[in-house]
Amino acid sequence: MENISHMLDYLSLKRITAMHENEINKAISDVVTSGWYLNGNAVRLFEEHYRNYIGTQHCISCGNGLDALHLILRAYKELGQLHNGDEIIVPANTYIATILAITENNLKPVLVEPEITTLEIDDNRIEEVITRRTRAIMLVHLYGRCAYTEKIENICKQHKIKLIEDNAQAHGCTYNGKLTGSLGDAAAHSFYPGKNLGALGDAGAVTTNDFELAETIRTLGNYGSSRKYVFEYQGKNSRMDEVQAAVLDVKLKYLEEDNACRKEIAQYFEQNIKNDSIIIPKALNRDNVYHIFPILCVERNRLQEFLKENGVQTMIHYPIPPHKQEAYKKWNELSFPITERIHREELSIPCNQIMSLNDAERIVTLLNSFY
């Protein structure tokens, strides 16, 4: 088409990095010249800054978000608090990593439908799936929305089950003034480049107030060793490198500012998108750092095509739910109608800190004219 002013990328990591390019380059070059590339000062400093930010006593860095999830469950097993076959409650519409961490540890995921209004786990459906094997809820703050509720807090207390947060999509999100990642027994964070706090490669972390858990995770991620050449567990190698830690330490300073920009764009969408065929699932009374701005539309594929023709790139989070994946063949016949509807109708429109209100206006005009 001739009248496209410019292509609006869903997320330009190049432009996001460019915002603080000098500072990032300086941080990287300091690591390069230091000659120390793993388990050094940059990692130690980032861990300290991140745990202070989140508000927990411990932060253990690791290779990526999946490892962070995996290491939490593995450490509970090593500590004798989880056993093969124990049941872990998890939202059916999460990104597959949450579920992989459970099955990799020989634990049993129990999928629970989300609410269509919030897209977060439906806390009214949790108690009905609790059995005597239930040991934990993996609470996913999907799309940057807080999934924590008082009801979930009470269920965990009453049934003595652990609350593990998957905070891969919600850096900076709060509940009653406390940050997600500090609300449960332990939390996994991903710093995949496209997340609200993103590295320039893979990186992840666990936050917790549980000293014993923290030490076990640190040991497991270091080949199962806490003293050189002595191995207490059959561990794995999962480390955040110094370069990523140095980059994250720079970007952490701007996280609140970045999230405020996302909120401004998102609020413009919420106030101005007016089209009967488009639903904006609102997380009422819940904080939201808008990692993803999801809209629902029965004609999702046609809408995506329409936006693309008009120069706006969108994404789908996610096209196929975990229980319909080939990786989990034995669940393919299960039915989760709300989850399936979300995967059929969800479209993610650009929403990030480098967009202008003009960009947002352009998207709204297109969405409001879609028929």
Ligand X SMILES: *Cc1c(COP(=O)(O)O)cnc(C)c1O
Binding site for ligand X (CB under 6 A): 64-66, 94-95, 97-98, 140, 166, 168-169, 190, 192, 202, 204
State in angstroms the smallest separation of the CB of 97 from ligand X: 3
Q: Phi-psi bin for 48: left (phi > 0), alpha (psi -120 to 50), beta?
A: alpha
Q: State which residue has the least CB distance to ligand X.
A: 65
Q: Are 189 and 204 in contact (CB under 8 A)?
A: yes
Nearer to ligand X, 137 or 273 (CB): 137
Nearer to ligand X, 110 or 367 (CB): 110
What is the amino acid identity at position 126? I
State in angstroms the smallest separation of the CB of 111 from ligand X: 14
Nearer to ligand X, 65 or 322 (CB): 65
- DSSP single-letter state for residue 322: G
Nearer to ligand X, 166 or 345 (CB): 166
Nearer to ligand X, 171 or 362 (CB): 171
Nearer to ligand X, 101 or 303 (CB): 101
State in angstroms the smallest separation of the CB of 229 from ligand X: 29
Query: Helix crossing, 21-34 with 242-252: angle to 10°?
Result: 150
Q: What is the token pair recorded at 21?
A: 């390019």
State in angstroms the smallest separation of the CB of 117 from ligand X: 20
Provide the β-strand partners of residue 123.
none
Give, in order, the Cα–Cα distances in Å from 201 to each of 107, 141, 159, 241, 243: 29, 22, 39, 10, 9
Provide the β-strand partners of residue 121.
114
State in angstroms the smallest separation of the CB of 354 from ligand X: 20
State in angstroms the smallest separation of the CB of 66 from ligand X: 4
CA nearest 127: which of 93, 158, 172? 158
